[in-house]
Amino acid sequence: MHTRLSFTAAVLGALLAPAAAPLLAHHAFNAEFDANRPVKFRGTVTRMDWVNPHAWIHISVKKPDGTTEEWMIEAGTPNTLFRRGLTKQSLQPGMEVLVDGYQSKDGSLRANGRDLTLPSGETLFLGASGTGAPYDAPPKKKG
Amino acid sequence: MRRRFRRALIPAGSAAAVALLWLVASARAGQAPSTGRFPAYKAPRLAGHADLNGVWQALVTANWNIQDHEAQPGPHPEIMGAYGGEPPGQSVVEGGEIPYQPWALAKRKENFEKRMMVDVTDDKRWHDLGDPELKCYMPGVPRAAYMPFPFQIVQGSGDYILIAYEFTSTTRVIRMNGKADAPADSWMGWSRGRWDGDTLVVDVTDSREQTWFDRAGDFHSDALHVVERYTPVSPYHMMYEATIEDPKVFTRPWKISFPLYRRMEQNVQLLEFKCVPFTEELLFGRLRKQPRQASR
Amino acid sequence: MRRRFMSAVAAACVAAAVSFPALADQARTTPARNAGVSRQAAGGRPAAGSMPRTPWGDPDLQGVWNDATSTPLARPGGVSDKQVLTDEEAEEFQRNLAHNLTRDRRDGGPEVDVNRAYNEHWMDARRLAITSDHRTSLIVDPPDGRIPPLVPLSPERQRARAARADAAARFAAGLPDNPEEMSLPVRCIIRTDSPPYLPTIYNNDFQIFQSPGYVAIAPEMIHSARIIPLDGRPHIGPTLHQWLGDSRGRWDGNTLVVETANFRTDEGVIFQDADPATYRITERFTRVDARTIRYEFTVEDPHTWTRPWTAMIPWTRIDPGEQMYEYACHEDNYDIVHLLQGARIRERKGETVPKRNRER
């Protein structure tokens, strides 16, 4: 006799499994970006491309040797951000940001931003606590 | 005998003259107006405004060149022959010429020379080359109005009017009472509409700078501002006017105008012209694992 | 069979998404608590005479609508045959979903981490909620809430599916051979605009326009519109095939009934890869209250499923507070180049498609 799952467990279990294939066949980031090439740097926004299917944040990064590198950070669809009230004014050239992500597998200066922290402390990716997420700890179970 | 005949001719001739005058007079009532001039017309109403619903199409050749243009052999005549030939046409620019700033003429020429070149290997230079129409990008405003394909206006009783274009299934939404600003630039621009009598006036801002006016390389900057006017002039025609200003590229505002014609075929509808698959070999063919066989 | 089930579950789970505290904003209609999932599940029929109408007398569907939900398409396997959750269960589910999708996950190591990318800022705000009637599946018929069993596929279709699975494995490994073997959404040809309309993780917006004799439905992705004539004209000729098919509509009382035919036969166009020759789809749009449209679709194909099946998804009005925006796709689809160019570079370095990918 197989165990009856709760609806919650069944849906969440499948949703959160790494193998879940999105309905939209959203491309697998691990196909393009390399888990073995984590990147972390502080940079200055030079340009924000508010485009679909992916917005791109252009960042100028000063290296220890004084040279700069121009990176592109891949982000999501801007339309969703627009409906949350963001506009092209929200991420402006000159802003300093913290980026934590994974570099492109082909070695180019492109990264899948895992955490992007704005000067306000707000994060645009799966970030540290304080993102505005309703829960930082698991919800209390009832009864 | 002959004199009686001749006498009969005169009243006959007068009668004929009178008849002729009468025919001419009645013909004038159904006569086609002289070119560019239409008798006063009031369109049927819908929800309190002129009803612009329908499938419409321009007949000008402005998509090749919005200014005067001779017939051209077109690209690759050694393969295309007359298929690739470009038709002649007269300028839709009122006053004849686009008032470019002097530097911009060189850019226009460069656009034209590189209109069929593409290079997508560098994200930052993705849009530097090639006519966006070649790449099946959304044509922008005003080009969408004079591409040689139909478009449909769906006008109802809400705060929005839809214009759907056959080319690459482009759509744009005209916001009739919108107060919001565009969150970012878009290919078809941000359209705010209002009525001026029977004329639909559409103010278009926040257009992507990468759209062109035509295949000749006529271009603009991100400061483009277009004001369109759609005026019904008969049950079968609508006049289209667009005032274009862009202080970064032109010395003054300028205007284009031409009629739009109602498509009259029974059960006419837009069909799908999704051209993205037609551009994949052009744009990405170099990146295939195995080259594909060329096809005619 | 198992793979199809898993992908059905996965597909169902994609509809489940965590959102921001927009739950409080969502207008709740009285859920149908009683047994039996009925077609009136999303709040019931409007009172007679209360249907808003256009000036020319058609039921008024105009506006901007959103269909995001975390209710899965099919009731997940292993779950009891409840058609409807209790209020408590619904709250628990939504709370857990919110927690799981908004918390900062660092488990799983870099391989898993690299796939996580964006947080809920980028996702549809309404996907944290299940439908207000607390159904356990969007499918309402068959009553078990699941896609009916498949009929045996012809060897030709099996071969086509196997070829597609191989292409998908190459794509998942980041080693696609060419543009045309990638999916239609990745190629920016069609996304949510091909019927039937199903919720996804973002941009679940539709704008409906009407004029005498027409209803036009414009999904956000990818900037297209179905302009549906209501005058009873025949479909376009049988040799014409379109990515979004060819739609014809009529009013059945207050319900807009849409039949769509003339689909292209390319893979990924016909829903669930049904047989283009025998596939039929009927959609129904009914405005049930000021803020809700009940959207239903029924699909059938005797060459694919043992019986027809029907799903219902409520659409919520979002304008004027929110708008639909232009979704250009092909114009800035740098990913195609990254994937292809990256594949060629990595092949030169000796990378190949992992064998385990093929087994899925």
Q: Per the structure block, which two tokens stand in for C115?
A: 């796939």
CATH of A37-126, one of 3.40.50.12280, 2.40.50.140, 3.40.50.720, 3.20.20.70: 2.40.50.140
pLDDT over threshold 50, residue B124: yes
In angstroms, rounded to a whole number, what is the distance separating the alpha carbons of residues C293 and B231?
35
Report which of C223, C195, C198 is spatially closest to residue C68, judged by C-alpha positions.
Answer: C198
The distance of A67 to chain C (nearest Cα, Å) reads 25
Q: Which residues of A touch B181 (CB under 8 A)?
A: 87
Q: What is the pLDDT of residue C25?
A: 32
Q: What is the pLDDT of residue C95?
A: 82
In angstroms, rounded to a whole number, what is the distance separating the alpha carbons of residues C158 and C85?
37
* Chain A, nearest residue to B121 by Cα: A108
Confidence of residue A84 (pLDDT cuts 50, 70, 90): confident
Strands A56-62 vs C309-317: parallel, antiparallel or unpaired: unpaired
Q: Is residue C53 part of a domain?
A: no
Q: Is residue C89 part of a domain?
A: yes
Q: Is C330 on the interface with A (CB under 8 A)?
A: no
Q: Is the ipTM of this structure higher than 0.90?
A: no
Chain A residues with at least one Cβ partner in B under 8 Å: 50, 56, 72, 78, 82, 86-88
Confidence of residue C5 (pLDDT cuts 50, 70, 90): very low
Could you check whether the bond before residue C196 is cis, i.e. omega within 30 degrees of 0? yes
Chains that touch B (3 or more CB pairs under 8 A): A, C
Mutate to test the interface with A, among B120, B124, B185, B190 (most CBs of A within 10 A): B124
Chains that touch C (3 or more CB pairs under 8 A): A, B
CB pair distance less than 8 Å for B173 and C188:
no
The answer to which of A104-113, B248-257, C265-274 has the lowest mean pLDDT is A104-113
pLDDT over threshold 90, residue A12: no
Q: Is residue C346 part of a domain?
A: yes
* Chain B, nearest residue to C177 by Cα: B289
Nearest to B287 among C211, C324, C340 (CB): C340
Q: Which carries the bigger pLDDT value, residue C89 or residue C211?
A: C211
Q: What is the pLDDT of residue C209?
A: 98
pLDDT over threshold 50, residue A76: yes
Confidence of residue A137 (pLDDT cuts 50, 70, 90): very low
- Enumerate the domain spans of chain B: 48-70+86-265
* Chain A, nearest residue to B208 by Cα: A51
Residues 235-294 of C with CB under 8 A from A: none
Phi, psi of A110, rounded to the nearest 5 degrees: -135, 145
Which pTM value belongs to this model?
0.85
Confidence of residue B234 (pLDDT cuts 50, 70, 90): very high
The distance of C269 to chain B (nearest Cα, Å) reads 13
Q: What percent of chain A has pLDDT over 90?
A: 20
Number of compact structural domains in chain C: 1
Q: Is C198 on the interface with A (CB under 8 A)?
A: yes
The answer to which of A53-62, A109-118, A119-128, B48-57 has the lowest mean pLDDT is A119-128
Handedness of CA A57, A58, A62, A65 (dihedral sign): positive
pLDDT digits (tens, 9 = 90+) for B194-220: 999 999 999 999 999 999 999 999 999
Confidence of residue C38 (pLDDT cuts 50, 70, 90): very low
Q: What is the pLDDT of residue A124?
A: 63
Q: Is B122 on the interface with A (CB under 8 A)?
A: no
Mutate to test the interface with B, among A50, A60, A69 (most CBs of B within 10 A): A50
In chain C, DSSP assigns E strands to: 63-66, 139-141, 205-211, 214-219, 226-229, 246-252, 255-261, 280-289, 292-300, 309-317
CB pair distance less than 8 Å for B186 and C326:
yes
Mutate to test the interface with B, among C187, C230, C330 (most CBs of B within 10 A): C330
